[in-house]
């Protein structure tokens, strides 16, 4: 029988955090040919930029330390699975998927930290 070991993230290092307008948050998820999803947890919708894998980052990851280079966020009290962006530059409505990550302990802890340290200031 195989032993299964759950070894969750122990440390999340966030290098940059910026609150932005929700329309701008949606615009940054639009790339040629595809739209990238946003995350939602505990009243906050956000995107995460991660660095490309490197030997050092992989070593950190294996020790339970994750780096988020940049997080952009906006308030969104209620979860919605799809947001629509009406923008004159695109000529029609663009739909952006939103993934409910409220089950993720890492995301819950991040939003809690965000509320205590960034949003309440």
Given a contact cutoff of 8 angstroms between Cβ atoms, the answer to whether 43 and 19 are in contact is no
Confidence of residue 18 (pLDDT cuts 50, 70, 90): very high
End-to-end CA, the chain: 51
Side-chain-side CA neighbours of 66 within 13 Å: the count stands at 13
What is the helix (H) or strand (E) element at residue 45, kind and residue range? strand 44-49
Given a contact cutoff of 8 angstroms between Cβ atoms, the answer to whether 24 and 30 are in contact is no
Cα–chain center distance at 66: 13
- What contacts 4, CB < 8 A, 6 or more positions away? none
Domain regions of the chain by residue span: 11-119
For the stretch 67-100, pLDDT in tens is 999 999 999 999 999 999 887 776 778 899 999 9
Average pLDDT, the chain: 92
- Both tokens assigned to 84: 């629509």
Given a contact cutoff of 8 angstroms between Cβ atoms, the answer to whether 13 and 67 are in contact is yes
* This prediction's pTM: 0.89
For the stretch 103-121, pLDDT in tens is 999 999 999 999 999 877 5
Strand-pair category, 38-41 with 44-49:
antiparallel
């Amino acid at each position: 029988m195989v032993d299964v070991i759950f070894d969750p993230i122990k440390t999340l290092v966030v290098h940059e955090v910026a609150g932005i307008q929700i329309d701008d948050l949606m615009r940054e998820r639009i790339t040629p040919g595809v739209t990238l999803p946003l995350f939602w947890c505990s009243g906050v919708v956000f995107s995460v930029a991660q660095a490309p894998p490197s030997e050092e980052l992989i070593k950190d990851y294996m020790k339970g330390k994750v780096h988020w280079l940049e997080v952009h966020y906006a308030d969104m009290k209620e979860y919605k699975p799809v947001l629509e962006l009406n923008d004159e530059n695109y000529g029609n409505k663009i739909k952006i998927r939103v993934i409910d990550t409220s089950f993720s302990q890492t995301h819950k802890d991040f939003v809690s930290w965000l509320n205590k340290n960034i949003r309440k200031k």
